[in-house]
Amino acid sequence: MTSLSDAEPHSAQPDPGAPKRRGRARRRHTVGRVLLAAVVVLALATGLSVVFIYRHLNGNLNIVDLTSQLGTDRPDKVKVEGPQEPLNILVMGSDSRDCQGCNIDNLTGGGQRSDTTILIHLSADRKRAYGISIPRDSAVDRPTCTAEDGSDIPGGTHVLWNEAYSVGGPACTIHQFEKLTGVLVDHYVVVNFEGFRDMVDAIGGVEVCIPEDIVDPAHGINIPAGTRKIAGQEALNYVRERYVIGNGSDIGRMKRQQAFIASMAHQVVSAGTLANPIKIVKFLEAATKSLTLDPDLGSLKKIGNLGYQFRGIGLDKIQFITIPNEVDPTNPNHLVWTPAAKQVWDKIIHDEPLTRRLATDVISAGNVPGSSSGSPSSSGGNGTGGSGPDAQALEDAGLCT
């Protein structure tokens, strides 16, 4: 995986008594929805001069090397023009049923279940960033992957995308992604659900616009309509609910989650957060406790360096889309990628801007639907192509129009 510079300050030499950060992958990781917000704020870590804080936060990170499970037949990276090379970061999450507050659907039994996969693509010129969501109900041909003990995990034909994480964790999902898209993954990140809640709380909540009361007694969810900041369990319920909001589809929920991430990123870089050192440290504490990463991204300094590379990208050029899809003709409850999906991945491979035709229903961090940060109609007017969600798409996602 692509290496980032790790020139740590002299005063922050490893503490012999500090906990080791390299180890086996935790088996229960959830919801990778907040990488972009976390990366932006973690950049501030490079400016923290207190050695204790640096060591403490650095020691929170869980570093897991998946190289041996990914094999040697990975995609090549196309050479492109630019001052740096483009970066592809695969964000993964799962519906772990075990961690406190994670079992929103009140299901029985333990284990990890894939919930979210988002590719974060950072262009070589550092002028644009895409967050491309892959529906967990996408029917795909999963390749054989490698388990932690080196044994083979059999693949499957026309199986759901999220099965890869269930049977083989992050490594199997990365392998599946690379084989189906041809896009090389430079780094991976998994964020757990409890950490997500703590990050939202640390910045004082995230603003959302809820068009109608969300009342789901079967899952203990009751969220009043209105535009305001939400935090804690209410925020978890909001990003997870799908049964009584919008059109009840997972695509609608994904679009609502994209809007929440965009609003969170906007909140993180606002003056009220950046000017408050207590909020910053609390956010960093929650974020670092939540992250599992590869060794090439696995230190506060490296994450900070990556975050610093986002400095020249305006919030309106951080765009979220869903990979083009349609209803599976063999099963109305599943989805399949359309031919346009291959065009999206080809654009990513060659580090080219997505055209307006490919980037539809775009949500940007600079223009969050229904919020005070801007109007959704302007999200496509940033010179990188794409068009914002129309009224029907927003309604289907349970977002304000």
- Average pLDDT of the residues in 134-153: 95
pLDDT tens, 262-314? Answer: 888 888 877 677 778 788 888 888 888 888 899 998 888 888 778 777 777 87
Q: Please give the pLDDT value at position 138.
A: 95
Burial class (CB in 10 A: 0-12, 13-18, 19+), 257: buried
Q: How far apart are CA 271 and CA 288, in angstroms?
A: 22
Contact between residue 187 and residue 173 where contact means Cβ atoms under 8 Å apart: no
Q: Please give the pLDDT value at position 87.
A: 95
Reply yes or no on whether the pLDDT at 15 is more than 60.
Answer: no
DSSP, collapsed to helix, strand or coil, labels residue 10 as: helix
pLDDT tens, 91-142? Answer: 987 665 555 545 544 444 445 666 789 999 999 999 999 999 999 999 999 9
- Average pLDDT of the residues in 30-34: 41
Q: How is the chain split into domains, by residue range?
A: 17-396
Contact between residue 2 and residue 84 where contact means Cβ atoms under 8 Å apart: no
CATH of 17-396, one of 3.30.70.580, 3.30.565.10, 3.40.630.190, 3.40.50.300: 3.40.630.190
pTM of the model: 0.81
Q: Please give the pLDDT value at position 376.
A: 40
Q: Please give the pLDDT value at position 252.
A: 85
- Average pLDDT of the residues in 2-6: 53
Reply yes or no on whether the pLDDT at 364 is more than 70.
Answer: yes
Q: pLDDT higher for 53 or 12? A: 53
- Binning pLDDT at 50, 70 and 90, where does residue 38 land? low
Radius of gyration for the chain, computed over Cα atoms and rounded to the nearest angstrom? 20
Query: Which residue bears the tokens 């004082």?
Result: 204
